[in-house]
Structure 1
Amino acid sequence: MNKILRPLSFSLTLLTILLISQPLMAKVYDMSNIKNRLIGEPIIHTAVEGDYFQQLAEDYNVGFLALLAANPKLDPFLLKPGTEVIIPNQMLLPYVPQVGIVINLPELRLYYFSPDENKVHVFPVGIGREGLTTPLTNTVVGQKRKNPTWRPTKEAQQRHFEEHGEYLPKEVPSGPDNPFGKYAIRLDTSEYLIHGSNKRFGIGMRASSGCIRMYDEDIEWVFNNVPKGTKVRIINQPVKMSYEKDGKQLIEIHQPLTDENEVTKDKVILTRALQRFVGTKREHWQQLIPVLDKPQGLVIELTE
């Protein structure tokens, strides 16, 4: 059986109370003494009457699809009181330089490595839907706009007409109907933005036309705290692995980022790096095969 890392019960209870008692923003992790890549702790939420996944995603500031993957046997809309829901707040840092903004598309998370504090801020994000994939790139934070005007591109106009039989307005001013929300950050001089949204649903999902969507509270923090010129790296790492200093062998697997026309759609590729990491122990593969078939996005310790 997969071994999901769990925190001490007292810390779990205290943290859960704090999380539920106030609106959440990014998770912030101190990295000053961390030599490992493991950060955070999983939280077990006990459902009460009226709980559902979208509300829990907002309460705990995690992605909707991340909740679905971590709890595949639960009904996201009808949670029975007393049901235990895994909140995926534990993760391995992506295997990239820990500089600026890193967006790992398969896990639908944005990492901001603070240059002055040895801390990493982690946010859920929405990304491009199938056929409109958010591009992999190394770029920088460009223009920053508060209360932006939305001007649909010609491609967006044509797609909307083909899907709905009518064209979008040429521009939408700031306000409740603006899909950019209150803040927008351009990636260098490209057409791609990191922006807010006028719809809470869609954060932590593949739902945009290629831009990066964030909760309004999160994009406001990024807008105010991440300077222009900060490096931005968008990557595709569905599998993250780590040998920790305490001897633990950890792996985290997410649903691969693929489009409908790809032969390997929804399949985790057994790269040489993955095979070397897992090794030849039968027990490791017995643990891993179910997760390869249905990735849960949870940190798993390979045990004998």
Structure 2
Amino acid sequence: MKALIFIPLFLLTLFLLPPRPAQGWYPKLASESLLTDSLSVQTVGKNRSYILAPGEILPEIARRCRIGYNPLVAANPGVDPWRPGDWREVLLPYRTILPTGAGPGITINLAEYRLYLIWNEDGGKRVRIYPIGIGQKGWNSPEGRFEITVKIESPSWTPPQALRQKEQDLFTIPPGSGNPLGKYWLGLSAPGFGIHGTDKPFGVGRRVSHGCIRLYSADIEDLNRLARIGMPVSIVYQPIKLALDGDTLLAQIHPDYLGRIETPLDEALRIKNGLGWRGEIDWKALERTIREARGIPVPISKPR
């Protein structure tokens, strides 16, 4: 009887298990990466399901499926990251709403641990989305408009002066294994800050850096190939995003870890008004979405 039960579960795992990509960026399909003209009101990607094999934990799944750790945990409330349970189904939160103001170049939304790369191609626009690690408390990543000023392959790491004052035994680390910058460094016009790889992949999707933006090793290699000197980089903090999917209003709410949004409901309504949408809101759905803050697009309008 046990064998009869195991076989369907095993097959189910194979069907629901996404392939292990060489990179974490998505969407993989060219048809899904093509954007419309309404950049600020568009959703990208599709959520996936994953069945946990015995002994698997969410930090491993985040790395294997190339998702940030905190977004994966937020998307699966009630699931213990370290003891999730065997054969449990979890949601892989790939679907997302573009940040307001995202355009050609790089847009980083710190609130959702994602980097968006948008570029022009064949008369249209395409997007790639990368999971990222960001600045820890006390070392917040800078916000504002910057540009890429330098690209370095195999960089050395020199501890910032503020960090040396706290840890005097730190020294410059040459390129190679153990270098916290990984293989590539994209320096920003904000002095001392940049986008780079990491020798600690489990930090992607967390607040762990000293202000820089960390990517999985394969992702920074891909981004380095596409990025150009002078490319604009916009770093924003948008825990609340709304978009239209046809006539349906969607809300994507992330935890406001900086505590900037005093009244999330008012902020959601402000964004809604900017979309020019005139339908009827499902207030219970909106309030629940704000309360849960799962970081996935959720319908918050009533059917027309």
Superposition TM-score tier, normalisation by shorter sequence: 0.7 to 0.9
Q: Does 1:75 align with 2:98?
A: no
Cα distance in 2 for residues equivalent to 1:216 and 1:208? 15
Aligned residue runs from structure 1 range 168-247, under 5 A? 168-188=169-189, 190-244=191-245, 246-247=246-247
Maintained 8 Å contact 2:148/2:228: yes
Maintained 8 Å contact 2:143/2:237: yes
- 1:223–1:88 distance in 2 versus 1, CA, 3 Å: same
Q: Does 1:31 align with 2:34?
A: yes
- 1:21–1:190 distance in 2 versus 1, CA, 3 Å: closer
Cα distance in 1 for residues equivalent to 2:15 and 2:247? 27
Deviation at 1:149, TM superposition (A): 0.8
Cα distance in 2 for residues equivalent to 1:249 and 1:15? 31
Maintained 8 Å contact 1:253/1:296: yes
* Equivalent residue, structure 2, for 1:273: 270
Please tell me the residue identity of whatever aligns with 2:177. Answer: P
Deviations 1:194-216 (A, max 9, x none): 01111111101111111101111
Please tell me the residue identity of whatever aligns with 1:255. Answer: P
Runs of 4+ in 1 over 4 A off after TM superposition: 12-17, 32-36, 264-267, 274-281
Please tell me the residue identity of whatever aligns with 2:295. Answer: G
* Equivalent residue, structure 2, for 1:293: 291
Deviation at 1:158, TM superposition (A): 2.0
Cα distance in 2 for residues equivalent to 1:280 and 1:119? 29
Please tell me the residue identity of whatever aligns with 1:129. Answer: Q
Among 64, 67, 70, the residue aligned to 1:62: 67
Maintained 8 Å contact 1:24/1:59: no
Cα distance in 1 for residues equivalent to 2:279 and 2:117? 36
Identify which range, 200-209 or 32-41, moves more after superposition: 32-41
Deviation at 1:33, TM superposition (A): 5.2
Q: Does 1:144 align with 2:151?
A: yes
Deviation at 1:188, TM superposition (A): 2.3
**Structure 2 SS opposite 1:106:** helix
- 1:240–1:15 distance in 2 versus 1, CA, 3 Å: farther
- 1:274–1:290 distance in 2 versus 1, CA, 3 Å: same
Cα distance in 2 for residues equivalent to 1:266 and 1:108? 21
Deviation at 1:131, TM superposition (A): 1.6
Deviation at 1:303, TM superposition (A): 3.9
Maintained 8 Å contact 1:126/1:213: yes
- 1:98–1:125 distance in 2 versus 1, CA, 3 Å: same
Specify every segment of 5 or more residues in structure 1 that has no aligned partner in the other structure, as ranges: 1-11, 162-166
Q: Which has the higher contact order (CA 8 A, sep 6+)?
A: 1
TM-score by length of 2: 0.83
- 1:13–1:303 distance in 2 versus 1, CA, 3 Å: farther
* Equivalent residue, structure 1, for 2:49: 44
Cα distance in 1 for residues equivalent to 2:139 and 2:182? 20
Deviations 1:212-268 (A, max 9, x none): 011111011111221111111001111111123x2111110111241xxx6x58974
**Structure 2 SS opposite 1:140:** strand
Cα distance in 2 for residues equivalent to 1:46 and 1:215? 23
* Equivalent residue, structure 2, for 1:7: none
Deviation at 1:168, TM superposition (A): 3.5
Cα distance in 1 for residues equivalent to 2:135 and 2:282? 34
* Equivalent residue, structure 1, for 2:5: none
**Structure 1 SS opposite 2:90:** strand
Q: Identity of counterpart residues, as a percentage?
A: 28
**Structure 1 SS opposite 2:120:** coil
Deviations 1:74-109 (A, max 9, x none): 011123222110100001111114210000010010
Deviation at 1:286, TM superposition (A): 1.2
Cα distance in 1 for residues equivalent to 2:296 and 2:20? 25
Cα distance in 2 for residues equivalent to 1:121 and 1:145? 21
Deviation at 1:44, TM superposition (A): 1.1
Please tell me the residue identity of whatever aligns with 2:235. Answer: I
RMSD of equivalent CA atoms: 2.6
Maintained 8 Å contact 1:267/1:293: no
